[in-house]
Amino acid sequence: MEYFDPKQAKRLDRSSQFALISAREAFTDSGITPNNTDLDRVGIFVSSGIGGLITIQNQCETNYIKGHSRVSPMFIPMSIANMPAGNIAIELGLKGESISIVTACASSTHAIGESYKTIKHGYEDAVIAGGTEASICEVGIAGFENMKALSRSEDKTRASIPFDKERNGFVMGEGSAMIVLEELEHAKKRGAKIYAEIIGFGATSDAYHITSPSPDGEGGAKAMIRAIEDANIKPEDIDYINAHGTSTHLNDLTETLAIKKALGDESKKVMVSSTKGNTGHLLGAAGAVEAVISLKAIEDQIVPPTINYKEKDEECDLDIVPNEPRNAKINIVMSNSLGFGGHNASIILKKYEDK
């Protein structure tokens, strides 16, 4: 196999496989080695919203059909949500703090934000941060479908349509994304390529409902405000927001309200897009994927569009960069994630300029 030998693949849930592949790529790209970095001070903050759901489904079927004696002894180590982080630590020999933050669809944005705080306070020199998700299986689809969260469109170009008036649910995605966060002077000393700086993080809870966001957008707004205050910037400094934008009626409406509350009059000027039209919704991995997209937006000075947009929604009246990418001067980007249970998280990234 390209990434794993058959024995290793058999012992890894698909979510861990995704995580290991993306972590290898991020770590190789970072240039961190035992010769230039103390691996005892490299953490692993890798999240999954659901964990090894495919393994859970398969082993439950085995238990029901063949009996409990046929359940794999690897069932628990393969299915628990911390195992992607644990497997990365084992493979790469990283002995810093290793945790998995589970906050539904905000999980990997929390992972990145908490990594930033951990490095900022001097506990680690670097952290691999991100998320992974592999929930496309019968029980996963059935669960989201029966709660009316998934799109019912049979036209793939009208399925994941964030901020469009005809949106009716999200499209499930799966995969993984990782970034390496590093203390600035440590990165400069070893000559690392620096894509951008993370300068702010904010997180709150709606304290409202297990699945629905607070209808006034207050929780999301406060997370953005906390991130702006942490970054010591003003709302007008933000050039682009990568929105959570799931293509559900409530999410896109309340996130629009939240952005307006957080940015005030500046919400009329800022560019906002949801890239879930391209990727689908990767649940716990969504924030990490969108952090990478935000970094690329800064690097390439291109705002990714909200694709498949046709029908204007008067309630979602931000500049959502419809259908076509936009060349623009991008210095500061905010990325939002909102999760079931009322979890809200926002990070702020800035173009790096060597001082």
> CA 183 to CA 120: how far, in whole Å?
7
Is residue 60 part of the annotated active site? The answer reads no
- 268-297 tens-digit pLDDT: 999 999 999 999 999 999 999 999 999 999
- Which of 110, 186, 281, 343 is catalytic? The answer is 281
Burial of 329: CB neighbours in 10 Å, binned 0-12, 13-18, 19+: exposed
Mean pLDDT of 170-176: 98
Torsion-angle region of 51 (φ positive above 0: left; ψ -120 to 50: alpha; else: beta): left
Query: Annotated catalytic residue: which of 105, 110, 186, 343?
Result: 105
6 pLDDT above the threshold of 80:
yes
pLDDT at 206: 96
Domains plus CATH for the chain?
Answer: 6-136+173-189 (3.40.47.10), 197-350 (3.40.47.10)
Task: Kindly report, residue by residue over 86-116, the tens digit of the pLDDT.
Answer: 999 999 999 999 999 999 999 999 999 999 9
Active-site residue, 105 included:
yes
Q: Looking at residue 184, what is its pLDDT?
A: 97
- Could you give the CA distance from residue 329 to residue 303 in angstroms, rounded to a whole number? 9
Residues 6+ apart with CB under 8 A from 316: 163, 165, 252, 253, 256
Per-residue pLDDT at 78 = 97
The residues, ordered by sequence, that sit 6+ positions from 3 with a Cβ below 8 Å of its Cβ are 17, 20, 21
Instruction: Band the pLDDT of 2: cuts 50, 70, 90.
Output: confident
Q: What pLDDT is stored for residue 355 in this prediction?
A: 67
pLDDT at 1: 67
> What pLDDT, in 10s, does the model give residues 199-258?
999 999 999 999 999 999 999 999 999 999 999 999 999 999 999 999 999 999 999 999
Q: How far apart are CA 21 and CA 175, in angstroms?
A: 10
Distance CA 5, CA 9 (A): 6
Question: Average pLDDT, whole number, for the chain?
Answer: 97
For residue 153, what are its two tokens?
A: 């469109």
Radius of gyration of the chain (CA): 20
Q: Provide the whole-model pTM.
A: 0.97
pLDDT digits (tens, 9 = 90+) for 33-64: 999 999 999 999 999 999 999 999 999 999 99
188's CB contacts (< 8 A; 6+ apart) are: 194, 354
CA distance linking residue 195 with residue 182, whole number of Å:
11
**Three-state DSSP class for 175?**
strand
Which pLDDT score, from 0 to 100, does residue 354 have? 83
- In the chain, % of residues over pLDDT 90: 99
Q: Which of 137, 244, 316, 343 is catalytic?
A: 244
